[in-house]
Amino acid sequence: MDPRRSFRILATALLGTAGLLVSGCTDGGSAASVPPPGASSAASAPAVPAALASYYGQRLKWRDCGVEGFQCATMKAPLDYAKPDGGDIGLAVSRKAATGPGERIGSLLVNPGGPGGSAVEYLQSYAGIGYPEQVRARYDMVAVDPRGVARSEPVVCLTGAQMDRYTQVDQTPDDAAEVTALNNAYQQFAQGCEKRSGEILPHVSTVDTARDMDILRAVLGDEELRYVGASYGTFLGATYAELFPARVGRLVLDGAMDPSLDAVELNRDQTAGFETAFQAFAADCVKNADCPLGTTSTADAATRMKRLFADLDARPVATGDPRRLTESLATTGVIAAMYDESAWPQLREAVAAAQNGDGSGLLALSDSYYEREPNGSYANLMFANAAVNCLDQPPAFADAKAATRAAPNFEKASPVFGESFTWAALNCADWPVPATGTPHRIKAEGAAPIVVVGTTRDPATPYKWARSLAGQLSSGTLLTYQGDGHTAYGRGSDCIDTAINVYLLEGTPPARDKKCS
């Protein structure tokens, strides 16, 4: 596989929604769509509503995808679940049949996170060929691009040229003019989404997508949902469990989010998570004679990284591309490398080059994060990311004054990234569609055992979130990976992989509070 594409898939799949000029992690969902406390819930497995019967009863027309071993189809779902007879939305589905040997268990749905990551691309490029052989032997591996994402009627907001300009806007404004420029960028982004995708914008919430997943479960012929979700995919899986607890089969929520936190708390916690990851990178870097951030201490490394950002803010450097490396692009590039420790050597080289006037390495990391192609086009990852985040929760900050007041707390959480993350959290302030979700604890009473996985130095989904979600879920079991990087399954820990494989194949969750390294 093309190494550049491999890194892009990793960054996309494990995004966790820490986009710089995009909002931070989402957790919301449509509160109006979730049964209120005391109301009857899906635990009693009610019959499918008559208005949705045609969707649940549809038959998919499978065809060859053009990717060896995979089939594709289009599933229909109501655009608006409140008005299911008001029109359809087409959702791209892909599968790879169980390879055997052994009795087929059913379908295993996978989602890589985002929101905005293409589950179909993740399946065809990684999960369908890279998941453990014994899992692929007994499961049909399945993915659906969530509504508004990739092949499923994607949200579109800006042209490639407009997106280039957007990603270069100064995200650490030094004066009123730069604050105005950043506000204008967010407004233009939101207006572009409304202009190009206004019909779908009110209908891309996490709750809508969780309901789509239940239709897919039924269409695939499964009585229960079996699912592995990473990062934002954990919130999607938890939301499914809240809506349909009696239909929960085996759910793995890897790199978990905390649905009880509001947008400010989520963004601030994630800021601290990236600081933790940077400290781990810095501690590794200073052991190397070629470390561009010095060889003395992590504190000195942080100071030098901040100095590089400040230098680029004042004087962007050449990249061999018409775009110069700005502070914003450099910060994105550094953050991209925080998702996986295997990218640290690449980051060291890129930082050293930038210090010497060559920004190409950090620009390449940034482009991978944003899913920018060499021809200047962008995937819709960041468009869908904002559309879901801004619908799932009220904005973190209503205006620039609120962001300014919060900045000291964010900078305390991360001296390296705090200022950038503060202003990134302003992006939903002028969103054209009101938020439909609110933060709340998810219990999913009556659900079968659910495995929640947390990594102790995860940058995008801090470990405390996994502990919290496992404690909220009535049947949650916490599995801990003591290490670096975002998510844990399939990342090289035999202990983690074995525990999850046993659960997926036999239905037996790991021992309570099991820890792996």
Give the catalytic positions in this structure. 231, 458, 486
Joined together, the tokens standing for residue 313 give 């803010």
In contact, 473 and 241? CB cutoff 8 Å: yes
Of 211, 215, 219, 244, nearest to 106 (Cα)?
219
Q: Nearest to residue 336, comparing CAs of 345, 328, 347? A: 347
Amino acid letter, residue 171? Q
* Nearest alpha carbon to residue 284 among 210, 347, 190, 195: 347
Q: Among candidates 383, 428, 22, 436, which has minimal Cα distance to 207? A: 436
Structural tokens at position 374: 């060499």
Strands (E), 382-509: 450-457, 476-484
- CA–centroid distance for 49 within its chain: 31
Residues 442, 472 contacting (CB under 8 angstroms): yes
Which phi and psi (to 5°) does residue 509 adopt?
Answer: -70, 160
Q: In angstroms, rounded to a whole number, what is the distance separating the alpha carbons of residues 215 and 56?
A: 5
Task: Answer positive or negative: Cα dihedral of 477, 480, 486, 488.
Answer: negative
What is the Cα–Cα distance from 8 to 209, expressed in whole angstroms? Answer: 24
Compute CA 129 distance to the chain's CA centroid, rounded to the nearest angstrom. 21
If phi > 0 it is left, if psi is from -120 to 50 it is alpha, else beta; for residue 106 that is: left
